[in-house]
Amino acid sequence: MTTMLNVKDLRAYYGQVQALHGLSFSLNEGSLTTLLGANGAGKTTTLRAICNMVRSTGAIEFEGKPIGTRSTENVVRLGIAHVPQGRGTFTNMTVEENLQLGAISRADKKAIGADIERMYEHFPVLKQRYTQQAGTLSGGEQQMLAVARALMLRPRLMLLDEPSFGLAPLIVRDLFR
């Protein structure tokens, strides 16, 4: 198996507060890796550091390229999709607009329409509500939308921050499938 992401000696800071103290791990293409830790351990911060949303030091390599100094936008362009903790949808926009936004950095514009239809097949409830404002969806529906929007990037790597939080077991099963 090929190493896809390699993180070495990662340290992250919020102002004077150090949140990560030398974290190292790697993960392989085609694998599913879980970060476990107590509240405040730094799981969310780790995902933010990979996307360069928090000041950090150390080495982060994605598919052999150092990405530690790339802007968040450029990290996304490499195919890394981040579903933030707490359902990061654009609440004033409709379901369909959220899905379109997920594909905004893609070059293959022609395939976007078909991918939106594919998301509606995966998550039929989103199809029923495609003109509804994201902020008025239920919590579970918003979580599905956040995951669907991330998939619209056709990502190489997905970073999911507590994707099952607050969801009923049946919905969790659907989401992970």
Ligand X SMILES: Nc1ncnc2c1ncn2[C@@H]1O[C@H](COP(=O)(O)OP(=O)(O)OP(=O)(O)O)[C@@H](O)[C@H]1O
Pick the stretch among 2-10, 43-51, 134-142, 168-176 that binds ligand X (CB under 6 A): 43-51
Q: Does 10 bind ligand X (CB under 6 A)?
A: no
Figure out which of the listed residues 7, 10, 23, 45 binds ligand X, where binding follows CB under 6 A. Answer: 45
Task: Record the tokens describing residue 22, joined without a space.
Answer: 């030398």
C-alpha count within 13 angstroms, C-beta hemisphere, residue 92 = 0
The dihedral built from the CA positions of residue 37, 43, 45 and 50, taken in this order, carries a sign that is: positive
Per DSSP, the chain holds a count of helices (H) and strands (E) of 7, 6
Question: Rounded to an integer, what distance in angstroms lies between the CA atom of residue 143 and that of residue 33?
Answer: 20
* 151: number of Cβ within 10 Å: 20
The nearer residue to ligand X, 51 or 95, going by C-beta atoms, is 51
Look up residue 36 and give its DSSP letter.
-
The site string for ligand X over 57-86 (x = CB under 6 A, - otherwise) reads ----------------------------x-
The interface with Mg ion within residues 27-56 (CB under 5 A) comprises 43-44
Minimal distance, residue 90 CB to ligand X, in Å: 21
- Are residues 5 and 58 in contact, defined by beta-carbon separation less than 8 angstroms? no
Residue 1 contact partner, candidates Mg ion, ligand X, none, CB within 5 to 8 A by sort of partner: none
The interface with ligand X within residues 85-104 (CB under 6 A) comprises 85
Residue 25 contact partner, candidates Mg ion, ligand X, none, CB within 5 to 8 A by sort of partner: none
SS3 56: strand
Q: Are strands 17-28 and 3-14 parallel, antiparallel or unpaired?
A: antiparallel
Q: Does 1 bind ligand X (CB under 6 A)?
A: no
Residue 41 contact partner, candidates ligand X, Mg ion, none, CB within 5 to 8 A by sort of partner: ligand X
Residues in contact with Mg ion by CB under 5 A are 43-44, 85
Q: Which residues bind ligand X (CB under 6 A)?
A: 14, 17, 19, 37, 39-45, 85
